[in-house]
Amino acid sequence: MKIKCYGIGSPQYEDQIGWKIVERLKELELNQEIDYVILDRPGMRLIDEFYGYDLCVLFDAVIGVDAGEIVELEDLTIYAQQNLLSSHGFGVAEAVKLAEVLNRLPPKLLFYGVGAGNTRLINQGIESVIQLFLRRIDELV
């Protein structure tokens, strides 16, 4: 099974959560062969990044939940805005939805989000996501 982990975000404050999770996973040197990539607000480019992988795992900061709260999703498409106000709003959910429409989704896709809003809770959120991901990857592989 070809696996790729995506740290999504930007260099701004808590938007780095996805990047930090991927950096931490790389340091762990897991037994499974996993490719890692850090992406700065990829928009539609995310779809090309799925190509050739059986399992794609996205890590990102999220809003709409409590700071530090962990979100695990298998279907992001329900969060896609149908009538975009701007291409600035073309985010991860919209890219996943477009990939689904174009039949370019990987066989399995997982999303882990950490609620932004409190910098002090970032490290706690990162470790929680990693534990959750490691348990899940053991089940899947």
Partner 1 sequence: MTKTIAINVPAITRVEGEGALSLNIKQGKIENLQLKIYEPPRYFEKFLQGRHYNEVIDIVARICGICPVAYQMSAATAIEDCFNIQVSDWVSQMRQVLYCGEWVESHSLHIHLLALPDYYGYGSAIEMAKDYPQEVTRGMRIQGIGNRLISIFGKRSVHPVGACVGGFYSSPQVEEIKTLLDDLSEGIELANELCDFLLSIDLPKPKQNLFTVGLTDNKSYPILAGLIGSNTGFSCTAQEFEQYFQEFQVPYSTAKQCLFEDKAYLVGPLARLNLNYDFLPDNLKQKIANKMNIPSDNMFESIIARAIEISFAFQHAHQILSEYEETSFPNIEVKPRAGIGYGATEAPRGLLWHRYEIDDDGKIIDCDIIPPTSQNQAHIEQDLRYSLEHFGLDKPQEELRLHAEMVIRNYDPCISCSTHFLNLSINED
* Coil vs helix vs strand at 70: strand
The minimum distance between CB 103 and partner 1, in angstroms, equals 7
Under the binding rule (CB under 8 A), the answer on residue 13 touching partner 1 is no
What is the pairing mode between strands 34-40 and 70-73? unpaired
What does the block give as tokens for 128? 């929680």
User: What CA–CA distance (Å, rounded) separates 92 from 71?
Assistant: 14
Under the binding rule (CB under 8 A), the answer on residue 12 touching partner 1 is no
Tell me the CA distances in angstroms from 87 to 12, 43, 53, 121, one per residue in order. Answer: 20, 8, 26, 30
* Binding residues among 96-115 for partner 1 as defined by CB under 8 A: 97-98, 101-103
Beta bridge partners of 56: 4, 109
The minimum distance between CB 40 and partner 1, in angstroms, equals 6
Under the binding rule (CB under 8 A), the answer on residue 83 touching partner 1 is yes
The residue from 2, 28, 35, 40 that contacts partner 1 (CB under 8 A) is 40
Residues that bind partner 1 (CB under 8 A): 40-41, 44-45, 47-48, 80-88, 90, 94, 97-98, 101-103
